[in-house]
Structure 1
C-alpha cells in the first residue's frame, strides 16, 4: 500500500448548482476582473497573457491550458519565473447543464497539494458562496 508523502497532490472534484446563465457566469471564471471578484485577492493579466493570481500578497502565475468559451477553462500553474512545472497544479471550471433538472452546475476540479481534504472542501464551499453572491444566484 502506497503511503502519500507530505507533498502528495490530490484531485478534488465537486459540482455546485449555480442559478445563473452560462453567459453571465463564464466571465467570472475566465477573466482577471471576474476572478478577482470572488476567487482571490487580486488577479492581473501580464503582457505575456499569463494570469497573476494573488493570495495573501503572494503571486501565483497561471496560464490557460484549455478553453471552450462559455463552457470550460483550465488554468495550469507555473513556477515563480512563469515557467511550466512537471506535475503542475491545475484548476478546471466546467459548466454543465442538466436537462432533467433544468439546472446549471459548476464542476470544479482542483489538482493541488492541499494537506487536508476537509479544508479544501470548506475552502471551495466558501468560494462558491462568494461566487453566488457576485452573480446574484
Structure 2
C-alpha cells in the first residue's frame, strides 16, 4: 500500500467565516459547489456526482472554523487520510481564506486534485457572490 501525498491549498474568499462555514458543513451548502447532491445521516455524508456516489465520515468540526472528513473507503482500509476545509482569518486585515488539506496517490493526482479544487472553489466563490 503506497503512502499518499499530502497537499495544501489556500484560497482567499470574500465572505464572512459564518457564511462560508454554512457552505462547508451542511448538505445543502455542499451541494451548491462540491457535489451535485449531498445527504447526511448522523456523521456519514453521501456525495453524489453524475451517477457516482461516495461516502465520507465526519471526523471533526468546529463552528465557523473547520470541517474534517474521511472517505469511508479509506476508513474501511484502515487509512488515516482525510480532507479538511479550514477557515483562516488574518488577525490584522480580517481577510478570510479557505485552507484545503487533501491527499493524493502521486504527483499527477496531486495536480489533478488541485485543478479539481480550483474549479470547485471557483464555483463556491460564484455561489457566495465573491467571484
The two structures share one fold, judged by TM-score above 0.5: yes
Deviations 1:5-43 (A, max 9, x none): 8x5422120111000001111010001111111001211
Which protein shows a greater Rg?
A: 1
Q: Please name the residue that 1:50 is paired with.
A: 44
Where does the alignment leave 5 or more consecutive residues of structure 2 unmatched? none
Higher fraction of helix: 2
CA contact (8 A) 2:69 2:82 kept: yes
1:78-89 equivalences under 5 Å are 78-79=72-73, 84-89=76-81
1:118 aligns with 2:111: yes
Q: Deviation of residue 117 (structure 1)?
A: 2.3
CA contact (8 A) 1:10 1:112 kept: yes
1:105 aligns with 2:97: yes
1:1-137 equivalences under 5 Å are 8-46=3-41, 48-79=42-73, 84-113=76-105, 115-137=108-130
Give the ranges of 4+ consecutive aligned residues of structure 1 lying more than 4 Å apart after TM superposition: none
The root-mean-square deviation of aligned C-alpha atoms, in Å, is: 2.1
Q: How many residues align?
A: 129
TM-score of the pair, normalised by structure 1: 0.83
**Residues of 2 paired with 1:89 and 1:32: CA distance?**
21
Where does the alignment leave 5 or more consecutive residues of structure 1 unmatched? none
Deviations 1:65-84 (A, max 9, x none): 011111111011103xxx64
